[in-house]
């Protein structure tokens, strides 16, 4: 929310000539302002920075998933042509501070955001691919070849696997980084379940996922004296804090650039050890150093979405009203971190009107890389659970799955008894059903066919919380009339460079072409990470506050400075808009920049913080997914052929980039539902799927050509001054359940409860859904 104290009580009137919105403002489907830079290859990513005397680092990955390094023979690597330095935990080690706890990416004032394990400090191996040595050379190729000459001997230790249902699980106090409680109970869920006339039991599984943005994680470091300049492609202030802590240097001495980021999915939000190793190597060698991770290293060492297993019991009335849900989830995690970042019980806590609920989340420690948030962390698994349960209930009771959601619509959020700031789930369900043609569905499984194929229609709700945090943004106008908004926000490819100027253009009453966003640099004020769909809502609100303040500052200047263009006039007579100030009594207008006079620029800072009332409300975006699948009746192999989705996420700042975000979410969900999974060898915990030939991200052929996306109008004055609910996570949440629902409908086979749906999955599932 805009801090109201920051705003002077200046009356602002739209310019009389045109009270309409400025060109390119909020709600305009504006193409990306950075699009030309990207398609012409002139956007500079962290691996593109051209520095004189740059050296190249290459990290050696462990080939055991647990145990110790017995010895490392670096002799051949050290004499390889072009090699400058070789680092291990014993030879010329780089000492980094081991963070004691993992800190979350949500608290700007907090101590940082980094992986909880810093490698190459001792001989212990906790996960496959953990870095054991660093080679720095004159070229990437020399470093890579020398790295392959390093001979590491390991003492294979015991390896704890994350396999479902085996081994001990551990109680948890908090989810994520302590943001939420692992246990939620209301009512008397066991008694209500026992008394329920309709009972369901099911266990759902989701696999490990890997973020895999196109841009490989890359750090480029340069020192000038004691000051570090780091190009990282991550969250600027999070990386600054994390790297400074690992290096034990003051954070003020670290400047981080991440002007362009080639995808993140949550994976670029953390400060990662390779960046600190890169910086330390650069300092030691007195020259710039770059470390670019390899594609396999992105599967090994930068964190992942860990697998889940959720045991569920659901009790309901015969008319489909859920009375009790009892969910016990397990999220695998690494050996050195407690949080569950994929809590598979989360969404069920607030989605429906069941008065009785038990939802508990535990972790299972295994030799895995860090368990970190990946796109829609928690909602991916928990909406698969929640929506599968509702669909299985619909099947058990013979009630239409849309109707069953209507019958379970809660008036308030029963998790905390708070009212919704707005909740448009039913509107989304209705609009989505209309777009899809749901009314034409024959509910009998196996009843719909086309060209010899079985056709299935399925659906699911979508939800994502509206997370808000603080944001401070500078807005500036230069004497040449150029307007900039500045904050250390991230554009991970989602459109931050475009929507921030749109918000400022609206507030200032100027065409969007005059406004530019400067982001991705710790030289600017801290801003939320591009995580949890926070950027538009929080940084956007900060931009609005700053732009309003800049506009008011210009009015003040025009009136109060000795040479002010309207010196002596009264504030009520000045109108603002269309890039000009207008003195109403005389009709005299002056452009914004003319107000500056001899001042080179005017810069103000706007602040946005969660408003007091946000604590009194439950704030979520909702949506509805409708899916068609086609199944070969002979092989039972399937594909998704059609999707319609309706989403309500408050104000839509830019329908074009918003639609793209949703489409990306849908593609992501098709991957989560039908192709993507990491598998590790059960004998030694080593990954068997650490390249794109084995870890199948979806390709165009997996995605339906017929995709309809609509935004349902929704006004929400509670969430923030813009009425924006983040939608970066919303697209595709719940869709895996819609897909398994459609597969059930197509074939009459049981619900697939193990993701992803492989070609053999339907054949393997019995009528009651057990594998």
Partner 1 sequence: MRPYNYLVADSPEQAVALKTERPDAQFIAGGTNQIDLMKMGVRRPPAIIDIADIGLDAVEDRGDTIRVGAMVTNTACAGHPLVMQYAPAVSMAIMKGATQQIRNMARVGGNLLQSVRSVCFYDVAQPCVRRDGMNITCGAVGGIDRMNAILGTHPKTNDANASDMAVPMMALGATVNVLGPDGPRAVPMADFFRLPGEVEQLQAAGEGTGNPEQDWYALRPTDLITSVDLPKTRTGQNQSYHKVRDRHSYAFALISGTAALRLVAGTVADARVAAGGVGTIPWRFANIEAALVGEPATPDAFEAAAARSIEGAQTGTVNAFKLDLLPRVLTRALIEAAEGTPANPLFWEESA
Contact with partner 1 (CB under 8 A) among 41, 225, 250, 452: 452
User: Chain-centre distance of CA 49, in angstroms?
Assistant: 26
Contact with partner 1 (CB under 8 A) among 4, 71, 139, 586: 139
Draw the binding track, 615-634, toward partner 1 (x: CB under 8 A; -: no contact): ---------------xxx-x
688 near partner 1 (CB under 8 A):
yes
Contact with partner 1 (CB under 8 A) among 300, 305, 350, 453: 453
Residue 249 CB neighbour total at 10 angstroms: 17
Buried b (16+ CB within 10 A) or exposed e, 334-347: bbbbbbbbbbbbbb
Tokens of 352: 């429906």
675 near partner 1 (CB under 8 A):
yes
CB of 300 to partner 1, least distance (A): 12
**Which residue, among 392, 409, 407, has the nearest Cα to 351 in the 3D structure?**
409
60 near partner 1 (CB under 8 A):
no
CB of 68 to partner 1, least distance (A): 16
683 near partner 1 (CB under 8 A):
yes
91 near partner 1 (CB under 8 A):
no
Nearer to partner 1, 284 or 639 (CB): 639
699 near partner 1 (CB under 8 A):
yes
Contact with partner 1 (CB under 8 A) among 164, 336, 601, 637: 637
Sole window of 300-308, 361-369, 574-582, 693-701 interacting with partner 1 (rule: CB under 8 A): 693-701
How many residues bind partner 1, per CB under 8 A?
A: 44
Contact with partner 1 (CB under 8 A) among 57, 58, 134, 145: 145
Let me know: does 370 contact 338? Beta carbons within 8 Å: no
d(CA 673, CA 671): 5
Draw the binding track, 747-766, toward partner 1 (x: CB under 8 A; -: no contact): -----------xxx--xx--
Measure Cα distances from 731 to 75, 277, 501, 711 in Å.
52, 36, 24, 11
Contact with partner 1 (CB under 8 A) among 20, 165, 419, 682: 682
**DSSP-derived 3-state class of residue 166:** coil
691 near partner 1 (CB under 8 A):
yes
81 near partner 1 (CB under 8 A):
yes
449 near partner 1 (CB under 8 A):
no
CB of 55 to partner 1, least distance (A): 15
Q: At what angle do helices 735-747 and 379-397 cross, to 10 degrees?
A: 30
Measure Cα distances from 437 to 79, 429, 521, 627 in Å.
69, 12, 47, 11
d(CA 144, CA 58): 6
Compute the 3-state secondary structure of the chain and give helix, strand, coil in percent, each to the nearest 5: 25, 25, 45
CB of 730 to partner 1, least distance (A): 24
Let me know: does 179 contact 102? Beta carbons within 8 Å: no
**Which residue, among 388, 251, 198, has the nearest Cα to 769 in the 3D structure?**
388
130 near partner 1 (CB under 8 A):
no
d(CA 239, CA 270): 7
Nearer to partner 1, 148 or 614 (CB): 148
680 near partner 1 (CB under 8 A):
yes
Quote the DSSP letter at residue 31. P
Let me know: does 176 contact 307? Beta carbons within 8 Å: no
d(CA 542, CA 721): 9
CB of 462 to partner 1, least distance (A): 24
Contacts of partner 1 in 400-439 (CB under 8 A): none
Let me know: does 289 contact 54? Beta carbons within 8 Å: yes
Residues that bind partner 1 (CB under 8 A): 63, 81-82, 139, 141-142, 145, 148, 452-453, 630-632, 634-639, 674-675, 679-683, 686, 688-689, 691, 693-694, 696-702, 758-760, 763-764
């Amino acid at each position: 929310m805009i801090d109201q104290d920051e705003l002077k009580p200046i009356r602002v009137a739209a310019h009389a000539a045109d009270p309409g919105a400025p060109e390119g403002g909020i709600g305009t489907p504006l193409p990306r302002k950075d699009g030309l830079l990207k398609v012409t290859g002139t956007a500079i990513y962290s691996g593109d920075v051209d520095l004189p005397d740059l050296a190249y680092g290459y990290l050696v990955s462990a080939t055991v998933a647990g145990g110790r390094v017995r010895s490392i023979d670096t002799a051949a690597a050290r004499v390889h042509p072009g090699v400058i330095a070789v680092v291990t935990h014993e030879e010329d080690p780089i000492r980094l501070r081991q963070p004691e706890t993992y800190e979350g990416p949500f608290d700007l004032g907090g101590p940082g955001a980094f992986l909880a394990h810093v490698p190459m400090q001792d001989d212990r191996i906790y996960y496959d691919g953990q870095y054991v040595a660093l080679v720095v050379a004159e070229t990437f190729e020399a470093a890579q070849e020398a790295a392959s000459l390093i001979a590491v001997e390991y003492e294979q230790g015991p390896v704890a696997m994350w396999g479902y249902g085996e081994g001990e699980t551990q109680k948890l106090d908090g989810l994520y980084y302590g943001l939420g409680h692992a246990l939620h109970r209301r009512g008397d869920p066991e008694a209500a379940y026992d008394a329920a006339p309709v009972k369901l039991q099911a266990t759902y599984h989701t696999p490990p996922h890997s973020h895999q943005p196109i841009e490989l994680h890359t750090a480029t470091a340069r020192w000038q004296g004691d000051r570090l300049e780091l190009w990282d492609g991550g969250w600027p202030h999070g990386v600054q804090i994390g790297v400074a802590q690992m290096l034990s240097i003051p954070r003020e001495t670290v400047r981080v650039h991440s002007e362009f980021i080639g995808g993140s999915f949550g994976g670029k939000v953390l400060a990662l050890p390779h960046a600190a190793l890169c910086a330390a190597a650069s300092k030691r060698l007195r020259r710039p150093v770059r470390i670019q991770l390899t594609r396999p290293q992105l599967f090994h060492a930068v964190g992942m979405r860990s697998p889940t297993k959720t045991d569920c019991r659901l009790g309901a009335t015969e008319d489909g009203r859920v009375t009790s849900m009892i969910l016990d989830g397990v999220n695998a995690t690494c050996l050195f971190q407690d949080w569950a970042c994929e809590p598979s019980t989360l969404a069920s806590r607030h989605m429906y009107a069941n008065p009785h609920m038990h939802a508990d989340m535990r972790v299972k420690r295994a030799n895995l890389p860090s368990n970190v948030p990946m796109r829609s962390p928690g909602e991916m698994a928990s909406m698969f659970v929640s929506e599968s349960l509702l669909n299985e209930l619909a099947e058990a009771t013979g009630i239409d799955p849309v109707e069953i959601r209507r019958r379970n619509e809660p008036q308030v959020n029963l998790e905390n008894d708070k009212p919704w700031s707005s909740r448009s789930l039913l509107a989304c369900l209705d609009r989505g059903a209309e777009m899809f043609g749901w009314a034409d569905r024959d509910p009998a499984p196996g009843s719909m066919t086309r060209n010899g194929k079985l056709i299935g229609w399925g659906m699911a709700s979508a939800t994502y919380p509206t997370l808000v945090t603080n944001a401070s943004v500078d807005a500036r106008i230069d004497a040449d009339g150029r307007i900039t908004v500045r904050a250390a926000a991230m554009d991970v490819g989602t459109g931050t460079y475009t929507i921030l100027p749109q918000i400022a253009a609206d507030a200032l009453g100027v065409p969007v072409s005059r406004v530019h966003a400067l982001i991705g640099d710790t030289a600017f004020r801290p801003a939320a990470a591009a995580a949890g769909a926070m950027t538009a809502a929080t940084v956007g609100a900060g931009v609005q506050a700053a732009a309003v303040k800049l506009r008011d500052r210009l009015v003040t200047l025009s009136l109060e400075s000795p040479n002010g263009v309207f010196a002596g006039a009264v504030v009520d007579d000045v109108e603002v808009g269309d890039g000009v100030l207008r003195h109403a009594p005389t009709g005299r207008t002056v452009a914004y920049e003319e107000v500056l006079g001899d001042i080179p620029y005017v810069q103000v800072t706007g602040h946005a913080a969660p408003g007091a009332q946000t604590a009194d409300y439950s704030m979520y975006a909702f949506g509805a997914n409708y899916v068609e699948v086609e199944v070969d009746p002979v092989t039972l192999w399937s594909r998704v052929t059609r999707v319609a989705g309706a989403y309500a996420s408050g104000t839509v700042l830019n329908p074009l980039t918003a639609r793209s975000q949703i489409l990306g979410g849908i593609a992501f969900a098709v991957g989560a539902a039908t192709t993507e999974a990491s598998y590790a060898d059960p004998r030694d915990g080593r990954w068997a799927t650490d390249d794109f030939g084995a870890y199948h991200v979806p390709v165009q052929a997996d995605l339906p050509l017929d995709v309809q996306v609509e935004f349902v109008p929704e006004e929400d004055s509670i969430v923030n001054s813009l009425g924006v609910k983040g939608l970066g996570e919303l697209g595709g949440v719940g869709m895996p359940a819609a897909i398994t629902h459609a597969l059930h409908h197509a074939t009459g086979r049981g619900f697939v409860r193990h993701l992803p749906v492989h070609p053999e999955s339907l054949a393997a599932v019995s009528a009651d859904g057990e594998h």
